Amino acid sequence: MTSDQTPAQRLPTLEDVAQVAGVSRATVSRVINNIRNVDPQLHKVVWDAVTATGYVPNRAARSLVTGRTGAIALVVSEAENRAADDPFLGRFFSDPFFGRVVGGVLSVLRPSGVHLALVLAGDEDACAKVVSDVRQGQVDGVVVLSLHPHDPLPRMLADAAVPAVLYGRPAAPMPISYVDVATYQGAKLAADHLVARGCQHVATISGSVDMPAGVDRLNGFREAMAKQGVAYVPSYDGGFTQEGGERAMERLLAEHPEVDGVFVASDVMAQGAMMVLRDHGKTVPDDVAVIGFDDSSAALSSRPPLTTVRQPVEDMAAEMARLLLTRIDSRANRTTSVIFDPDLVLRASA
């Protein structure tokens, strides 16, 4: 039997990749099948040869060999299902925070030959499908950005004991891995800086107090101020939105017009708060010093640029991916937490 395919039309094979890379076929197979006991330098040589030859791994065959899909999902778990043209989605996906998370995750996945899928989960049915997809082998595991306090997905993933890692501590104690920033330490950086500036009447605009980040940033700041001898710190909930930051600052100025220093638990809220200060004829930082949290795009676009507590988003996202790949490889349901140190980024607002 003869083939109509000419040598020029023949698809590249593992042998072709091995010849270009100067390694054995077995080594090429181990690299492509993501078996991790391969020297990192050989890993790069093999993938360069894959690119040079145009070889396309057969994902179905690979799954049969490894029992894995070679793909994980980045799940954005939101409070509601949204249409594709919803303005919220446009704002979220265009925000540099999301790009920083994706970049950090891909920095680990790309060298390992693992693909990343984006999944939006807007209700309990969508969350259940995420769990089902992992169980049925559609993806090997998930990294999760949870955007609302009553998100059922973390608990569903923990109960199913599937490979999963959260960005941020879960709202309730549960056996699931996560990465987070040392929030109390970050709040202390803000408190100490305001005191060092000579602020005498300090207040805070908190995030939602039913979310771990909101509670931790508020309690951490109050504790740090107490250690500085300040027994009472007025607090107003801004709900982690710009509009909430505006409303909270309006209330703060009405009830405590003497305020001269404010720690705001997110840069977005701080941006709104500074707009209100300007409307009331207050200058930042001369009349009121303002410190945010996150070091997001809002910190640089604020006027004046915002002094803020920075969380290392890219490093945190990369660690999420590493934890997930380790969990997938080990097949042991062991949970891990990794906490990163924050930094205070000094700009013009404080």
Start-to-end Cα distance in the chain: 80
pLDDT of residue 81 exceeding 60, the answer is no
Each residue of 234-273: pLDDT tens digit? 999 998 889 999 999 999 999 999 999 999 999 999 999 9
> Are 222 and 233 in contact, with CB atoms under 8 Å apart?
yes
The pLDDT of residue 4 is: 46
- Beta partners for 290? 262
The pLDDT of residue 64 is: 45
Q: Which token pair is 204?
A: 């805070």
The fraction of the chain above a pLDDT of 90, given in percent, is: 58
Band of pLDDT at residue 83, cut at 50, 70 and 90: low
Q: What is the residue-wise DSSP string for 231-252?
A: ----EEE-TTSHHHHHHHHHHH
Band of pLDDT at residue 67, cut at 50, 70 and 90: low
The pLDDT of residue 150 is: 82
**350 residue type, one letter:** A
Ordered by start, the domain boundaries in the chain are: 14-57, 71-181+314-340, 183-310
Average the pLDDT over each of 65-79, 213-227, 315-329 and give the range with the smallest value: 65-79
Q: How far apart are CA 39 and CA 22, in angstroms?
A: 14
CA 88 centroid distance within chain: 17
pLDDT of residue 41 exceeding 90, the answer is no
Q: How far apart are CA 115 and CA 62, in angstroms?
A: 13
The pLDDT of residue 348 is: 96
The answer to whether domain 71-181+314-340 and domain 183-310 are alike in fold is yes
Mean pLDDT of 142-148: 87
Average the pLDDT over each of 18-27, 279-288, 341-350 and give the range with the smallest value: 18-27
Band of pLDDT at residue 171, cut at 50, 70 and 90: confident
The fraction of the chain above a pLDDT of 70, given in percent, is: 87
pLDDT of residue 86 exceeding 70, the answer is no
Token pair 């799940």 in the structure block, residue: 75
Q: Mention every residue, 6+ apart, whose C-beta is less than 8 A from residue 329.
A: 36
Mean pLDDT of 303-332: 93
Mean confidence (pLDDT) of the chain: 87
Q: How far apart are CA 202 and CA 290, in angstroms?
A: 10
Token pair 């997110």 in the structure block, residue: 266
Instruction: Tell me which CATH code domain 183-310 carries.
Output: 3.40.50.2300
Q: Which residue has the higher pLDDT, 91 or 225?
A: 225
Q: Which residue has the higher pLDDT, 88 or 21?
A: 21
Band of pLDDT at residue 3, cut at 50, 70 and 90: very low
Q: How far apart are CA 187 and CA 273, in angstroms?
A: 18
Q: What is the residue-wise DSSP string for 256-306?
A: -TT--EEEESSHHHHHHHHHHHHHTT--TTTT-EEEEEE--HHHHHSSSPP
Give the right CATH number for 71-181+314-340 from 3.40.50.2300, 3.30.930.10, 3.30.70.260, 3.40.30.160. 3.40.50.2300
pLDDT of residue 66 exceeding 70, the answer is no
Round the CA-based radius of gyration of the chain to a whole number and report it.
25
